Amino acid sequence: MQQVAVVTDSISCLTRELVEQYGIVIVPANFCAEGKVYRDWVDMTPSQAYELFLKDPDSFKTSAPSPEDYLKAYHEASKQAESVLCITFSAKISAVYNIAQQAKEQAKAELPQVSIEVLDSQTVTAAQGFVALAAARAAVEGKSPAEVVKAAEEMRNRVSFIILLDTIRHVYRSGRIPKVAAQVGSMLNIRPILTISSGLIRFAGAVRNKHHGVDRLLKMMRDKVGLSPVHVAVMHAYALEEAERLEERVSSEFNCAELWLTEFSPVMGYVTGTGTVGFAFYSDD
């Protein structure tokens, strides 16, 4: 039995293969469509969720996991190890970190023999996934709880993401721009480029043409990693063919030490809309 089990949420965009390979316990976020509540990545695939989203975007709602959801995950993780590291997405974006902490307090009575630590990844999307993977890989190697936490913290400082939205129409749901501005921007075909800094989503530019937008994403990554070996997770929201083309370009234009394709969680797609593409990445240097 390894010393540490890793828990994270479905916003991390980890593939089922990676989750199974490293024994990561996933806490599903929730979304509501057509009056029914679904668990992200559990009750349906992201693609199926986006199909519901496209039918009626205005009725599509999201909600964070509950303390009970995290408590259940801690119980599951405790079957693997006596120490649990829970990695959440940025506390500056959501209350999920606090919810995971509440569950940790509840777990003291139910799992007194288990040590639980909650870590704010200070990011989201597959960038958060890479933080969870760093921890899980260290755990599989038999590292101590302190070493597993250190691996996650070091990755947190290295990883980034860049995404290109196909529309600005739904971004008002983030609370960062007025709805009317989003509507006007949608009419003008403005496609925002978003990244993250200090735990907050940042506006990194805008384009009118999707092709030029993809070129911009690749240049932004190239400026950061140069010729160094790079680990990349290509992401998409109901845009598989575009994402596959982007994956091919990343593979041919960069020195990839790791490259995988994943779907953007519909819980985030609620804000970004379908057609979003991008990647999370970090270099070995």
Condensed to tens digits (0 to 9), the pLDDT of residues 86-121 reads: 999 999 988 999 999 999 999 999 999 999 999 999
Closest CA to 129 of 261, 267, 4, 9: 9
Distances (CA, A) of 257 to 148, 222, 242, 262: 21, 15, 22, 17
**What is the dihedral sign for C-alpha 6, 8, 14, 16?**
positive
Give 63's pLDDT tier (boundaries 50, 70, 90): confident
Mean pLDDT value of segment 195-210:
87
**What is the dihedral sign for C-alpha 228, 233, 236, 240?**
positive
Q: What is the pLDDT of residue 168?
A: 65
Checking if the pLDDT of 183 tops 50, the result is no
Checking if the pLDDT of 176 tops 70, the result is no
Please identify which residue in the block is written with the tokens 């559990």. 42
18-44 tens-digit pLDDT: 999 999 999 999 988 888 899 998 898
> Does residue 200 or residue 24 have the better pLDDT?
24
Give 191's pLDDT tier (boundaries 50, 70, 90): confident
226-283 tens-digit pLDDT: 999 999 999 999 999 999 999 999 999 999 999 999 999 988 877 788 899 999 999 9
Residue type, 73: A
Q: What is the pLDDT of residue 169?
A: 58
Mean pLDDT value of segment 129-134:
98
* Residues 120, 88 contacting (CB under 8 angstroms): yes
Checking if the pLDDT of 187 tops 60, the result is no
Q: What is the pLDDT of residue 41?
A: 86
Q: What is the pLDDT of residue 254?
A: 98
Half-sphere exposure of 165 (CA within 13 A, CB side): 26
Closest CA to 266 of 15, 18, 32: 32
The model carries a pTM of 0.93
- DSSP annotation of 21 reads H
Please identify which residue in the block is written with the tokens 């530019």. 205
What are the structural domains, with CATH classification, of the chain?
Answer: 4-29+64-156 (3.40.50.10440), 160-283 (3.30.1180.10)
What are all long-range contacts of 247-254, with beta carbons under 8 Å and residues at least 24 apart? 249/214, 249/218, 250/218, 250/279, 253/218, 253/222, 254/221, 254/222, 254/225, 254/230
Least confident piece of the model among 34-43, 78-87, 118-127, 177-186: 177-186
